[in-house]
Amino acid sequence: MEATQTATFGGGCFWCIEAAFKELDGIAAVTSGYAAGDVADPTYEQVCSGNTGHAEVVQVEFDPHVVAYEDLLDVFFAIHDPTQLNRQGPDVGTQYRSIVLYHDDDQRRLAEAYIEAVDESYDDDVVTELEPIGTFYEAEPYHQDYFEKNPNDAYCQFHASPKVEKVREKFADILAN
Protein backbone atom coordinates (compact mmCIF):
# COMPACT_ATOMS: atom_id res chain seq x y z
CA MET A 1 0.00 0.00 0.00
CA GLU A 2 1.21 3.48 -0.90
CA ALA A 3 2.18 5.67 2.03
CA THR A 4 0.45 8.93 2.75
CA GLN A 5 1.38 12.02 0.77
CA THR A 6 1.77 15.62 1.88
CA ALA A 7 0.25 18.75 0.40
CA THR A 8 0.79 22.33 1.57
CA PHE A 9 -1.58 25.28 1.14
CA GLY A 10 -1.84 28.86 2.37
CA GLY A 11 -4.92 30.99 1.98
CA GLY A 12 -5.39 33.31 4.92
CA CYS A 13 -5.32 32.36 8.58
CA PHE A 14 -4.11 28.80 9.06
CA TRP A 15 -6.77 28.17 11.73
CA CYS A 16 -9.48 28.39 9.06
CA ILE A 17 -7.70 26.31 6.43
CA GLU A 18 -6.75 23.64 8.98
CA ALA A 19 -10.34 23.32 10.24
CA ALA A 20 -11.72 22.88 6.73
CA PHE A 21 -9.25 20.17 5.67
CA LYS A 22 -9.79 18.22 8.89
CA GLU A 23 -13.37 17.56 7.75
CA LEU A 24 -12.24 15.32 4.88
CA ASP A 25 -11.97 11.56 4.82
CA GLY A 26 -8.47 10.24 4.18
CA ILE A 27 -6.73 13.01 6.10
CA ALA A 28 -4.13 11.62 8.49
CA ALA A 29 -3.01 15.00 9.88
CA VAL A 30 -3.23 18.74 9.28
CA THR A 31 -0.44 20.85 10.74
CA SER A 32 -0.38 24.63 10.87
CA GLY A 33 2.92 26.30 10.12
CA TYR A 34 4.97 28.74 8.10
CA ALA A 35 6.70 28.39 4.73
CA ALA A 36 7.97 30.21 1.65
CA GLY A 37 9.97 32.81 3.57
CA ASP A 38 13.53 33.77 4.39
CA VAL A 39 13.75 33.47 8.19
CA ALA A 40 14.75 30.18 9.81
CA ASP A 41 12.57 28.95 12.68
CA PRO A 42 10.19 31.92 12.61
CA THR A 43 7.80 32.67 15.45
CA TYR A 44 4.17 33.66 15.00
CA GLU A 45 5.02 37.21 16.05
CA GLN A 46 7.78 37.40 13.42
CA VAL A 47 5.52 36.06 10.67
CA CYS A 48 2.71 38.45 11.68
CA SER A 49 5.11 41.37 11.23
CA GLY A 50 5.12 40.62 7.51
CA ASN A 51 8.91 40.87 7.41
CA THR A 52 9.84 37.17 7.13
CA GLY A 53 8.43 36.40 3.70
CA HIS A 54 6.64 33.40 5.21
CA ALA A 55 2.98 32.59 4.66
CA GLU A 56 0.70 30.96 7.19
CA VAL A 57 0.16 27.51 5.67
CA VAL A 58 -1.11 24.06 6.52
CA GLN A 59 0.51 20.77 5.68
CA VAL A 60 -2.04 18.11 4.90
CA GLU A 61 -1.00 14.48 5.23
CA PHE A 62 -3.47 12.46 3.17
CA ASP A 63 -4.12 8.97 1.88
CA PRO A 64 -4.27 9.29 -1.94
CA HIS A 65 -6.35 6.10 -2.11
CA VAL A 66 -9.11 7.85 -0.18
CA VAL A 67 -8.81 11.50 -1.17
CA ALA A 68 -7.02 12.70 -4.29
CA TYR A 69 -4.73 15.72 -4.50
CA GLU A 70 -7.22 17.18 -6.99
CA ASP A 71 -9.91 16.94 -4.28
CA LEU A 72 -7.66 18.91 -1.95
CA LEU A 73 -7.26 21.57 -4.64
CA ASP A 74 -11.06 21.70 -5.03
CA VAL A 75 -11.49 22.27 -1.30
CA PHE A 76 -8.65 24.80 -1.08
CA PHE A 77 -10.00 26.97 -3.88
CA ALA A 78 -13.55 26.74 -2.51
CA ILE A 79 -12.64 28.01 0.97
CA HIS A 80 -10.68 31.12 0.10
CA ASP A 81 -10.67 33.87 -2.51
CA PRO A 82 -7.69 33.29 -4.79
CA THR A 83 -8.13 36.72 -6.40
CA GLN A 84 -7.27 38.60 -3.20
CA LEU A 85 -3.64 39.69 -3.15
CA ASN A 86 -2.11 39.34 0.31
CA ARG A 87 -5.44 39.25 2.08
CA GLN A 88 -8.27 36.97 3.15
CA GLY A 89 -11.16 38.53 5.02
CA PRO A 90 -9.85 40.69 7.84
CA ASP A 91 -6.33 39.26 7.57
CA VAL A 92 -4.03 41.49 5.54
CA GLY A 93 -0.35 41.05 4.67
CA THR A 94 1.91 38.81 2.64
CA GLN A 95 1.67 36.17 5.37
CA TYR A 96 -1.97 35.63 4.32
CA ARG A 97 -1.33 35.25 0.60
CA SER A 98 -2.83 32.50 -1.51
CA ILE A 99 -0.14 29.91 -2.18
CA VAL A 100 0.19 26.28 -3.20
CA LEU A 101 3.52 24.73 -2.23
CA TYR A 102 4.08 21.59 -4.26
CA HIS A 103 6.00 18.55 -3.06
CA ASP A 104 6.70 16.90 -6.42
CA ASP A 105 6.30 17.38 -10.16
CA ASP A 106 2.87 15.74 -10.21
CA GLN A 107 1.54 18.22 -7.66
CA ARG A 108 3.14 21.10 -9.56
CA ARG A 109 1.56 20.00 -12.82
CA LEU A 110 -1.88 19.42 -11.27
CA ALA A 111 -1.85 22.71 -9.34
CA GLU A 112 -0.64 24.65 -12.38
CA ALA A 113 -3.47 23.25 -14.52
CA TYR A 114 -6.00 23.85 -11.74
CA ILE A 115 -4.95 27.47 -11.26
CA GLU A 116 -5.13 28.07 -14.99
CA ALA A 117 -8.61 26.53 -15.20
CA VAL A 118 -10.00 28.31 -12.13
CA ASP A 119 -8.61 31.64 -13.32
CA GLU A 120 -11.10 31.54 -16.20
CA SER A 121 -14.01 31.35 -13.75
CA TYR A 122 -13.23 34.68 -12.05
CA ASP A 123 -13.62 38.24 -13.28
CA ASP A 124 -10.40 39.19 -11.48
CA ASP A 125 -7.07 37.44 -11.98
CA VAL A 126 -6.19 34.55 -9.69
CA VAL A 127 -3.10 35.60 -7.72
CA THR A 128 -2.35 32.23 -6.11
CA GLU A 129 1.38 31.61 -6.04
CA LEU A 130 2.82 28.21 -6.96
CA GLU A 131 6.22 27.32 -5.51
CA PRO A 132 8.20 24.26 -4.42
CA ILE A 133 7.77 23.52 -0.72
CA GLY A 134 11.22 24.37 0.64
CA THR A 135 11.31 24.29 4.45
CA PHE A 136 8.12 24.00 6.47
CA TYR A 137 8.21 25.28 10.05
CA GLU A 138 5.54 23.93 12.39
CA ALA A 139 3.63 26.68 14.19
CA GLU A 140 3.57 26.91 17.95
CA PRO A 141 1.49 24.27 19.77
CA TYR A 142 -1.34 26.67 20.65
CA HIS A 143 -2.04 27.15 16.91
CA GLN A 144 -2.53 23.43 16.27
CA ASP A 145 -6.17 22.29 16.17
CA TYR A 146 -7.16 25.83 17.11
CA PHE A 147 -10.73 25.70 15.81
CA GLU A 148 -11.32 22.32 17.42
CA LYS A 149 -10.05 23.62 20.78
CA ASN A 150 -11.73 27.05 20.51
CA PRO A 151 -15.01 26.61 18.61
CA ASN A 152 -16.65 29.53 20.41
CA ASP A 153 -13.81 31.98 19.73
CA ALA A 154 -15.29 34.99 17.90
CA TYR A 155 -12.73 34.82 15.07
CA CYS A 156 -13.46 31.12 14.59
CA GLN A 157 -17.21 31.71 14.59
CA PHE A 158 -17.01 34.44 11.94
CA HIS A 159 -14.25 33.05 9.73
CA ALA A 160 -13.49 29.36 10.31
CA SER A 161 -17.05 28.10 10.86
CA PRO A 162 -18.32 29.27 7.45
CA LYS A 163 -15.41 27.50 5.72
CA VAL A 164 -16.12 24.28 7.61
CA GLU A 165 -19.83 24.54 6.74
CA LYS A 166 -18.99 25.15 3.09
CA VAL A 167 -16.88 22.00 3.03
CA ARG A 168 -19.67 20.01 4.70
CA GLU A 169 -22.22 21.24 2.16
CA LYS A 170 -20.16 21.17 -1.01
CA PHE A 171 -17.94 18.12 -0.47
CA ALA A 172 -20.23 15.56 1.19
CA ASP A 173 -18.72 12.81 -0.98
CA ILE A 174 -15.28 13.16 0.64
CA LEU A 175 -16.20 13.95 4.24
CA ALA A 176 -14.91 11.93 7.18
CA ASN A 177 -17.57 9.81 8.86
Distance CA 12, CA 96 (A): 4
Distance CA 59, CA 80 (A): 16
User: Which sign does the torsion angle of CA 89, 92, 95, 97 carry?
Assistant: positive
CB 27 within 8 A of CB 177: no
**113 CB-side CA count, 13 A:** 8
Side chain identity, residue 65:
H
Q: Which residues are annotated as catalytic?
A: 13
**168 CB-side CA count, 13 A:** 8
